[in-house]
Amino acid sequence: MGCHGWNSGEQRWRLTALLGVGAAVLALVVTLLTTLPGNGGSTAGTSPDGDKVHGTPATPPGDIGPDVGWGFTHTQFSADEGSASAVERVQKRLGEQPLPQIQHIMGWGASNPEPVEGRYDFEEMDRRVDFVRATGGTPVITLCCAPDWMKGGEAGADNTNWSQASLETAPEPEHFADYAALAATVAKRYPDVRHFIVWNEFKGFWNDAEARWDYEGYTELYNLVHAALKKVDEDIMVGGPYLVMDSLDPRQRQDASTSLKGPWGAMDQRILDAFDYWNENKAGADFVVVDGSSYTRDDEMLPDEFAATDKFTAVSEWVRERSDGLPLWWAEYYVEPADGDDNRHGWSENRRAAVQASGLMAMARGGATSGFYWNPEEKSGKCPGCLWTPTDTRDGGEALPMYELLARFNEEFPPGTRYETVSVAADDKPNVRVLADDKAVLVVNTLDRGISADIDGERFDMGAYEVKWLKR
């Protein structure tokens, strides 16, 4: 997570000069000045003006709605920092083909937003929002995670616990209202952000006693946040529940759904139950959010990595049937199992792009209108699966294959696209995946060898795992 502390050395030097007192007295004064009564935590580097509008907000388009298209999520490292020329290179490219972009309020590049109750630190969040504004992208904020004092931890600017276990802890029920107030503060600070996702993957909402998701607790938090955001501005659009749509080996009986299943596996029924509870008890929603992988919980790609992406179609259709026509977003989607360090470096870029394209196509076929690639950006060095090369050097920020795929997909298949069926030669059907509208055709070779394919009345050669665009 990196260090999120604040260097107050200059302030201490000024206090010494001003007060002319000894070191012991100075330490006492600083402690008193940077600690709020009753909270017991340092407020160094924080401000009480969290809801003050930051920077120069962009003017949202007049026709903005709940559908935002296909984009990416900023993670711990992104192009808001690094060599000026590399940052500018990414900004320019994104400016030419703006993409919707997600940023979390805590973690994944953002510091603790409220280390002490009523005291805020949005420095890193401000920088990320400024980056999205500079690229002309649609900003989306995920309201996760929670300051330590809301989840049983210690308050204070220097006390944030950045361990995974802490980050994935939900606010305690007595602090749900405090979290909703924080959400409202964020909305006031960035008035140009019109889309908010409530929480991330039900983190911390597991009922150990009943071995199921605590969907009652999440829904209570969601409803409070929804009300708080709508009070700030009725035009703010809110979505959830951001459940991980886990699937199991179809031979597994325990917890396996008997109704939502396919060659790709069987859905975990506990996930479906959680979705149904939220869907029936939510205060309202402008869009529905899920995430998940094409492979099973045991990292099995059934029956293979391409056919496994059919899960995205099946799940999308299932969610759409239950959500009264609300737009469907995939906040995260994965097609390549991770290693023990959660890295996905095992595939070639060609194979990765081909299977990712298949996943995007599958979501679109199921009725999804928005999806976000979890950008695994590295601070330096090689960057498998990243959208651009790391920006630590002046020659960084160059587009990589995944960026080219995502940007083109968003351009050709925006929300509202009407998909059409195109002709595919019978011999080619097992080897290709195809998605088309009236202007473009996306074709993916699913084989690790070259083929000759006849698509939409045109015959052409394709390399191993090639992703090819045709104009109609």
| Cα distance between residue 212 and residue 270, in whole Å | 6
| Cα distance between residue 148 and residue 470, in whole Å | 51
So what's the pLDDT on residue 157? 94
| Cα distance between residue 337 and residue 445, in whole Å | 20
pTM, two decimal places: 0.91
Which residues are CB-contacts of 266 (< 8 A; sequence separation ≥ 6)? 247, 248, 249, 250, 252, 256, 257, 258, 260
So what's the pLDDT on residue 340? 85
| Cα distance between residue 181 and residue 187, in whole Å | 10
Q: What is the pLDDT of residues 296-331, one digit of tens each?
A: 999 999 999 999 999 999 999 999 999 999 999 999
Q: Which of 272, 271, 251, 255 is nearest to 263 (CA)?
A: 251
DSSP H stretches of helix in 303-348: 310-322
pLDDT over 50 at 119, yes or no: yes
| Cα distance between residue 109 and residue 90, in whole Å | 17
Which range (61-65, 110-114, 156-160, 467-471) has the least confidence? 61-65
| Cα distance between residue 127 and residue 111, in whole Å | 11
Q: Which of 188, 157, 175 is nearest to 36 (CA)?
A: 157
Which residues are CB-contacts of 78 (< 8 A; sequence separation ≥ 6)? 109, 128, 131, 375, 377
Q: Can you give the C-alpha Rg of the chain in angstroms?
A: 24
Q: What is the pLDDT of residues 169-178, one digit of tens each?
A: 999 999 999 9
